[in-house]
A and B are shown apart, each in its own frame.
Chain A
Amino acid sequence: GQQVMQIPQYQHVQEGEDFTTYCNSSTTLSNIQWYKQRPGGHPVFLIQLVKSGEVKKQKRLTFQFGEAKKNSSLHITATQTTDVGTYFCAGKLNSGYSTLTFGKGTMLLVSP
């Protein structure tokens, strides 16, 4: 069925290095949402992108939505140990009201 693919599954970086996770869909998305889940916690909403080519920033985090609205990325500049967790993207695949489809997530580990 229709899916939202997310890569990589896992990344281990040294504190201060940059990190990027990518989200791809075979069909056009109405929107893309990003969530962060700390170890042992629950997913927490970070941001939503709706417009083609949209770019939003939250401090060291930069979110992009592709021109074709089929892909998205989350880039973290100069990672910190507080960035540890799993990052999920989620998008609505069909027209009309329907549910969000989540990617499988990228687990980020940051070593001090």
Chain B
Amino acid sequence: NAGVTQTPKFQVLKTGQSMTLQCAQDMNHEYMSWYRQDPGMGLRLIHYSVGAGITDQGEVPNGYNVSRSTTEDFPLRLLSAAPSQTSVYFCASSYIQGVIPSPLHFGNGTRLTVT
């Protein structure tokens, strides 16, 4: 049982380049989300999805796009990378069971550097 799988683990981009961070989960979780983690800032929500075909913005969505074509996959696209997007990115998923959020399962993270 792999859980939440993120690829790549590390990435270096030049300003203006685009790329996609991959996230896949094998737990049949309805809820999937992307967070970025910066020193002293904690975990900030970028985008989230409550099911295939449904996505919504989080706290810091600018510069990022997402789609959810299947239950398993939730890729995060950087359209035109900027140095401010240098961060560690975590994908997380959970069941949806009523109004109380279920525990999040996090991937191992992607460390992104934009030069």
Binding site for B on A (CB under 8 A): 6, 9, 30-31, 33, 35, 41-45, 48, 50, 88, 90, 92, 95-97, 99-100, 102-105
Pairwise interchain contact B43-A43, C-beta atoms closer than 8 A: yes
Pairwise interchain contact A102-B109, C-beta atoms closer than 8 A: no
Pairwise interchain contact B99-A95, C-beta atoms closer than 8 A: yes
Number of A-B contacts (CB under 8 A): 59
Pairwise interchain contact B99-A30, C-beta atoms closer than 8 A: yes
| Nearest-neighbor residue (CB-CB) of A91 within chain B | B101
Distance of A92 Cα from B33 Cα, bound (Å): 15
| Contact A99/B100 with A9-B40, A42-B90, A43-B90 known, Cβ cut-off 8 Å | no
Pairwise interchain contact B106-A92, C-beta atoms closer than 8 A: no
Interface of A is mostly: loop
Cross-interface CB contact of A99 among B45, B90, B106, cutoff 8 Å? B45
Distance of A6 Cα from B41 Cα, bound (Å): 11
| Contact A33/B101 with A99-B33, A102-B42, A104-B41 known, Cβ cut-off 8 Å | yes
